[in-house]
Amino acid sequence: MQDANNLTVRDVTTALESWAPPALQESYDNSGLLVGRMSDSVDSILVSLDCTEEVVQEAIELGANMIVSHHPIVFKGLKRFNGSTYVERTVMKAIAHGIALYAIHTNLDNVSDGVNMKLAKLVGCKPDSLRILRPKPDALMQVVVYVPEEQAQKVSQAMFAAGAGEIGAYDECGWTVPGKGTFRPLEGANPHIGIIGERESVVESKLEVVVEPWRLAAVISAMQNAHPYEQVAHGVWTLQQVHDQVGSGMLGELPQPMEEGAFLDTVKSALGCATIRHTNLLGRDVRKVAVCGGSGSFLLQDAISAGADVLVTSDFKYHEFFDADKRIVIADVGHYESEWQTTDLIVNRIKKYFPNFAVHLAEANPNPIHYR
More confident of the two residues 170 and 280: 280
Q: What local confidence, expressed as pLDDT, does residue 200 receive? A: 87
Q: What is the mean pLDDT of residues 193-221?
A: 92
The answer to whether residue 3 sits within a structural domain is: no
Q: 266 and 236 in one domain?
A: no
Q: 350 and 292 in one domain?
A: no
- Mean residue pLDDT of the chain comes to 94
Q: For residue range 111-142, list pLDDT tens digits in order.
A: 999 999 999 999 999 999 999 999 988 788 99
Q: 230 and 149 in one domain?
A: yes
CA distance linking residue 26 with residue 139, whole number of Å? 12
Residue type, 363: E
Q: For residue range 209-219, list pLDDT tens digits in order.
A: 999 988 999 99
Q: What local confidence, expressed as pLDDT, does residue 80 receive? A: 85
CATH at 56: 3.40.1390.30
For the chain, the domain total comes to 3
The answer to whether residue 186 sits within a structural domain is: yes
Q: Helix (H, G, I), strand (E, B), or coil: what is residue 88? A: helix
The answer to whether residue 290 sits within a structural domain is: yes
Reply yes or no on whether the pLDDT at 101 is more than 60.
yes
Q: Among residues 206, 241, 276, which one ends one of the domains?
A: 241
Reply yes or no on whether the pLDDT at 1 is more than 80.
no
CATH at 218: 3.30.70.120
Q: 152 and 234 in one domain?
A: yes
The answer to whether residue 34 sits within a structural domain is: yes
Q: What local confidence, expressed as pLDDT, does residue 96 receive? A: 97
pLDDT band at 4; cut points 50, 70, 90 = low
The answer to whether residue 368 sits within a structural domain is: no
Q: What local confidence, expressed as pLDDT, does residue 78 receive? A: 83
Q: Helix (H, G, I), strand (E, B), or coil: what is residue 31? A: coil
Q: What local confidence, expressed as pLDDT, does residue 20 receive? A: 96
**In Å, how far from its chain's centre is CA 332?**
23
Q: What is the mean pLDDT of residues 351-364?
A: 94
Q: How many CB atoms lie within 10 A of CB 143?
A: 21
Q: 187 and 230 in one domain?
A: yes
Q: 51 and 100 in one domain?
A: yes
- Closest CA relative to residue 114, chosen from 51, 46, 52, 25: 25
The answer to whether residue 372 sits within a structural domain is: no
Q: What local confidence, expressed as pLDDT, does residue 139 receive? A: 80
CA distance linking residue 292 with residue 25, whole number of Å? 15
Q: Quote the Cα angle for 274-277-278, to 5°.
A: 135
The answer to whether residue 4 sits within a structural domain is: no
Range of the structural domain that residue 127 is part of: 115-131+248-333
pLDDT band at 193; cut points 50, 70, 90 = confident
CA distance linking residue 266 with residue 16, whole number of Å? 32
The answer to whether residue 178 sits within a structural domain is: yes
CA distance linking residue 372 with residue 154, whole number of Å? 66
Residue percentage of the chain with pLDDT more than 90: 82
Q: What is the mean pLDDT of residues 306-330?
A: 97
CA distance linking residue 176 with residue 196, whole number of Å? 29
Q: 236 and 151 in one domain?
A: yes
Q: Among residues 220, 241, 262, which one ends one of the domains?
A: 241
Q: 74 and 57 in one domain?
A: yes
Reply yes or no on whether the pLDDT at 15 is more than 90.
yes
